[in-house]
């Protein structure tokens, strides 16, 4: 299972890989490589931008469907009990206060405490919580978690992430091709068209630059988490938001469950893991909220 941003980044990587390989197989790369000077660079930049933003927004459009399927979300259409009615009423109230359309509300089976919001339109989003979160948190804490997710929706975080990812995709595609061409010309001495150096160099560069892009996207996501915490505090109250984060901080994360916990910000591990984490450490989030109380 993946977090909201993790699902988006995974989908973006897959779509981008398909588009990139298609352009290679269709001969677009070869055509651009045969052109000279400014036309080659301008054409490459236009191609990179089209592919980069197409990959990002296709992923964004798929995000809600992917989240429902991958996490087994059961959307509440007609409340079956008082708990589901309370969830709908709470989200409806918060959506009204945040000035956004009522999102779909769902529950998915998971023993860990987890919640996420996704969707490419702030007036047509999805907010979902795990059964573990409902069982292990008080209603005040759940209200704060819902407020945090509604703040993501109101802030337009998924669309903003889509735009950023489009720029990063363009950067990866453009410079990976440039590096491939340089390897071809300098190392393999290919004077015209493309040779093996281009394929090797561009693919390796695409992977390396893709990691750099993922680090930038993760850093941006971490900044948005602080804003979502502030939004959750406004919608549910600072005390409830701090209590919810403290509840998560006090939970012991089971081995192998990092991805599930990541949706609301549990993360640990190596320096690279921290760089790629889409959520800041809970201690820092709690401290930031307390500083604003």
Do 3 and 262 touch, CB atoms closer than 8 A? yes
Is 82 in the active site? no
Contacts 24+ apart (CB under 8 A), 176-183: 176/201, 176/202, 176/203, 176/205, 176/206, 176/209, 177/29, 177/32, 177/44, 177/48, 177/202, 178/44, 179/205, 180/205, 181/33
Q: From the candidates 84, 141, 143, 149, which is the catalytic residue?
A: 149
- The dihedral formed by the CA atoms of 40, 42, 45 and 47, expressed in degrees to the nearest 10: -70
- Report the relative pairing of strands 104-108 and 126-130 from DSSP bridges: parallel
Distance from C-alpha of 238 to C-alpha of 241, rounded to nearest angstrom: 5
Interacting residues of 11 by C-beta distance below 8 A, sequence separation 6+: 58, 59, 62, 63, 66
Catalogue the active-site residues.
Answer: 149
């Amino acid at each position: 299972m993946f977090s909201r941003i993790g699902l988006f980044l995974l989908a973006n990587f897959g779509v981008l890989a398909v588009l990139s390989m298609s352009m290679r197989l269709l001969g677009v790369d070869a055509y651009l490589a045969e052109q000279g000077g400014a036309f080659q660079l301008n054409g490459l930049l236009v191609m990179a931008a089209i592919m980069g933003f197409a990959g990002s927004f296709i992923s964004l459009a798929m995000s809600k469907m992917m989240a429902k399927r991958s996490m087994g979300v059961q959307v509440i259409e007609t409340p079956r009990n008082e708990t589901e009615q309370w969830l709908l009423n709470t989200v409806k109230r918060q959506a009204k206060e945040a000035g956004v359309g009522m999102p779909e509300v769902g529950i998915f089976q998971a023993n860990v405490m987890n919640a996420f919001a996704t969707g490419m339109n702030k007036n047509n989003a999805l907010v979902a919580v795990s059964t573990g979160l409902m069982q292990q948190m008080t209603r005040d804490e759940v209200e704060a978690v819902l407020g945090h997710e509604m703040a993501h929706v109101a802030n337009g975080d998924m669309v903003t992430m889509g735009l950023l990812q489009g720029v990063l995709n363009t950067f990866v595609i453009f410079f990976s091709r440039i590096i491939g061409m340089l390897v071809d010309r300098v190392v393999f001495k290919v004077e015209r068209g493309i040779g093996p150096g281009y394929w090797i160099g561009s693919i390796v560069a695409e992977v390396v630059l893709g990691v750099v892009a993922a680090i930038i996207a993760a850093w941006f996501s971490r900044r948005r988490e602080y804003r979502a915490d502030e939004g959750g505090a406004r919608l549910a109250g600072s005390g409830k938001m701090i209590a919810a984060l403290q509840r998560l901080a006090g939970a012991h994360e089971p081995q192998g469950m990092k991805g599930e916990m990541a949706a609301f910000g549990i993360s640990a591990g190596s320096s690279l893991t921290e760089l790629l984490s889409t959520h800041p450490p809970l201690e820092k989030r709690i401290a930031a909220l307390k500083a604003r109380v």
